[in-house]
Amino acid sequence: MDTWAGSDVIAEMGVLSPKEVIALSSASVVRVVDLLDRVPKRYEDRRRFDAFPTQAGGDPVCLRGVVVDAGRKFFGGRSGVYEVVIQAGNEVGFGENSLTCRWFNAPYISKVLAVGHEVILYGKPKDVSGRLIIDHPEFEVIKEGAEGKASVHVERIVPVYKNVSGIAQRRLREIVFFLLDGVRECSLEVDFTVDESYPRIDAYREVHFPNEMEQVAAARRYFALEEFVRLQLEVARRRLRYHQQDGRVQGRNMDLLKKFYQSLPFDLTGAQKRCVKEIIHDMRSELPMNRMLQGDVGSGKTFVALCAALLAVDSGSQVALMAPTQILAEQHYLTFRKWLDPLEVRVGLMTSDRQEAGEISWSGNPQIVIGTHALLYGEGGFDDLSLVIIDEQHKFGVEQRGRLVSKGLMPDVLVMTATPIPRSLTLTIYGDLDVSVIDELPAGRGKIVTGVRPKAKVSDVTKFLKEQLSKGRQAYIVYPLVEESETLKAGAASVEYEKWKKRLGAYEVSLIHGKMSADEKERVMRDFRDNKSQVLVSTSVIEVGVDVPNANVMIVYDAERFGLSQLHQLRGRIGRGEHKSYCVLVTQVKNTESIEKLEVLAETRDGFKISEADLRLRGPGDVLGTEQSGLARMRFIEYLADVDLIREARRLAEEILKREV
């Protein structure tokens, strides 16, 4: 092994076939460390196996047994089903300690799995017509090979890796084992060390082939900390580079802002005023503004954005506001027109389907352009774009944000989010941004009562709806799907819409979902805003951008299929007027965990508490989406919920930066 132990290139190992080298290369594995960094997706404790199950349900099981029957089956009008019967140990005959595994449309299985093979399999058993069956289980045929090799696959805690096309799981495990047996610490050197007392090579050995599962936790945390230090360094360096550029000084003229304040029939909240002051400070600075405005649903972020836009317009330049959906862009357009037309500020709308304010002239008219992604690709450009506002910024990728910013000369940037972000994520993913938080709601907002209703009767829901509608109120009824699905057992808006029309015959019921054209969606929303329809059956397309103060009821069916933060956003569509509002979360599941998740919403309206809970329950990938900077390529994303690790990573990154400066 000394011939390759210090080498960095995996092809120079000399023990891989040319096909294996190509297969690894296709998976972006070129260096030794590339393969070692592909940590196992899970582990199987093959020192002991699960007992063969006697009933369906529960967690997946890891079993060891023998194939006692195998062959292609035909039933139920379906063909191409390969079935094998696995029996525990070497028992003869079909007893209780057996179950069936089957594969659909996978003819290759018959070539690798046959009677007599001893196998290890992993999967979740289900009951099919009285038979215990595992569909498409992960499996491995146990082959007694050269001395020492068998111990890699049995009689130990065994790693299971993400598949590499062209290399079997068993062979991949052998390659990694061989690597770790010969690799030297010197070939794994990095530009910083997160733990002097824990050699990196030991962390690799324990994350791939642990003696106990406790070693896995320690090793994964080691590599997570290393990854987070790199992410913190990247963010900090980006922030430093950004602030080394010359910005533009604007916001000294406040005539429009004063007129706007005077025109308001209400006073801004203390939190809104504080955020406006922070924005004014940034815009007057010679450094470019790069600020995030966080505010819970209904907290009044739009008015803060209006103030920022007026400062830029009063400086003689232009503003772009980009929203992720046409509904939200149009809502902003209507709001801006309502407040700014009296001030003679020209506002335009630009989406893929519509242009407003006449034929948009890019020669200084309009002064504020509101749009969707169309702003990135539309013809023409800005004469002098000095402020970029991006709403629901987590819906956009870094490249999209950068493309809009590049349409101006170092414009100030304000990104907004109605999804409160836990501080650990703010420090990590958004560490290059200054943060303003609107942490209070405007006065005059009605109370929202939230209730979780497992197995709610349709008759009870209908009665409650009619009571509220009879008082002149309006309601949303939300479903997770647009149309019925063969694979998902969940309500579909287009199907349930017809049923609600019959149940609520005296009231006008309308339907909206993402598959409708932009014009159709706009017409439906306009009718609902004008109270021409009293009930809106919808998917989550109304999650943002819908402001109808008269709507005070939100019924969400199959609520367990939504994330907490998404449900919080949906709930934010009500409680926007003075009337008492009701959010009813209907679920058909009996799962205690799902019920407890939904109860979080019943207990609090604090978006930060909800986002923290969502982070713990679903993980950062689902909460934030993978569009975020650095998130898509992270290997240890689950540690974004570990505040202690985040703080430790930040401390180490700051120490490294001090040495660099």
Which residues touch 579 (CB under 8 Å, ≥6 apart)? 446, 473, 550, 552
Residue 627: the pLDDT is 46
Mean pLDDT, the chain, rounded, equals: 83
Residue 78: the pLDDT is 52
Fold classified for 255-438: Rossmann fold (3.40.50)
Residue ranges covered by each domain of the chain: 45-141, 255-438, 448-605
Question: 52-65 b/e with 16+ CB inside 10 Å = b?
Answer: bbeeeeeeebbbbb
pLDDT along the chain (661 residues), means of 10: 52 80 91 90 87 84 90 66 84 65 86 89 87 89 57 84 89 90 66 84 94 94 92 82 81 93 92 96 92 85 95 94 87 91 91 58 73 79 89 75 85 85 66 82 81 91 94 94 76 91 93 86 89 93 79 94 86 87 90 83 83 71 52 73 83 85 65
Residue 455: the pLDDT is 83
Match domain 448-605 to its CATH number in 2.130.10.10, 3.10.129.10, 3.40.47.10, 3.40.50.300.
3.40.50.300
CA distance 443 to 402: 36
Residue 74: the pLDDT is 67
545 burial (CB, 10 Å; 0-12 / 13-18 / 19+) is buried
pTM value? 0.65
Fold classified for 45-141: OB fold (Dihydrolipoamide Acetyltransferase, E2P) (2.40.50)
Return the structure tokens found at 136: 């498409």
Residue type, 411: P
Residue 93: the pLDDT is 45
Query: Helix (H, G, I), strand (E, B), or coil: what is residue 452?
Result: strand
Residue 661: the pLDDT is 65
Return the structure tokens found at 252: 């000294």
3-state secondary structure 16-78: CCHHHHHHHHHCCCCEHHHHHCCCCCEEEECCCCCCCCCCCCCCCEEEEEEEEEEEEEEECCE
Residue type, 150: A
Nearest-Å Rg of the Cα atoms of the chain is 30
Q: What is the pLDDT of residues 495-516, one digit of tens each?
A: 999 999 999 988 999 999 988 8
The answer to whether domain 255-438 and domain 448-605 are alike in fold is: yes
Residue 275: the pLDDT is 96
Where are the strands (E) in 252-383, listed by range?
290-295, 318-322, 347-350, 368-371
Where are the strands (E) in 514-618, listed by range?
535-538, 551-557, 581-587
Count the neighbouring beta carbons within 10 Å of the beta carbon of residue 113.
19
Backbone angles phi, psi at 397, to 5 degrees: -80, 165
Are 582 and 390 in contact, with CB atoms under 8 Å apart?
no
Residue 588: the pLDDT is 84
CA distance 363 to 346: 12
How far is residue 47 from each of residues 50, 153, 155, 360, 596, measured CA to CA in Å?
A: 10, 10, 4, 71, 35
Residue 358: the pLDDT is 43
